[in-house]
Amino acid sequence: MNQHPAAAMAFSDPQGQRWQRSFDGTLTRSEPGDAELFASNPAHAEAQAGPMATLFNPIAVVSFFINAVLGDSPEDRELARFLTDPAAPGWDEITAAQWDEMARELHLGLAAHVYYPAPRVAYVRALTDEAAATRRTGGAGFVSVPLKIFTLRLLLGQGWRIHTFGEAVRPDMIHFPEGDLDQDVM
């Protein structure tokens, strides 16, 4: 088995031609037709997600956060608060009722990869129950999938923290503390 992370995907080029990239890296033209969501192989998903025991892996942070919010002990809520971005407005004011409301929304499946729209900003996509039920659609190989986005910010020396949940926040709209961007990430 290939030990490098891999993904299978379908995409359109700028001329509108559909392509399919398979897990083994083969690129082929796709014919117009139905597309289908499918569950990934657990070994591929684990290799692609990366180490899950570190705050320097955005998928791990989102997983920790979801589990903490879904937990029912005071320690779980403290962990959830710890995993939020201290520079993001609003996290400190969340009430117990709001945590409970968020817990009802967090029964999600996570994408097995992270999108980095800018340095120190990461998006982790989460599929809703509605998306999990999506299987096929008519059209030229395109499936529209409803999702929620976790936007994370990298805290230097501390790892990733949840900035927002719901819609993606553009990197230029994220407040970085003064001097933060002057420091090298490494």
CA distances from 76 to 64, 79, 105, 182 (A): 10, 5, 17, 34
pTM above 0.85, yes or no: no
pLDDT digits (tens, 9 = 90+) for 83-135: 999 999 899 899 989 999 999 888 887 877 899 999 999 999 988 766 656 55
DSSP 20-55: EE-TT--EEE--SB-EE--PPPHHHHHHHH--SS-T
Residue 133: predicted pLDDT: 61
pLDDT digits (tens, 9 = 90+) for 13-31: 777 788 887 777 788 887 7
Single-letter code of the amino acid located at 56: F
Domains and CATH numbers, the chain: 41-169 (3.10.450)
Helix (H, G, I), strand (E, B) or coil at 144: coil
Q: How many CB atoms lie within 10 A of CB 113?
A: 15
> Percent of the chain having pLDDT more than 70?
76
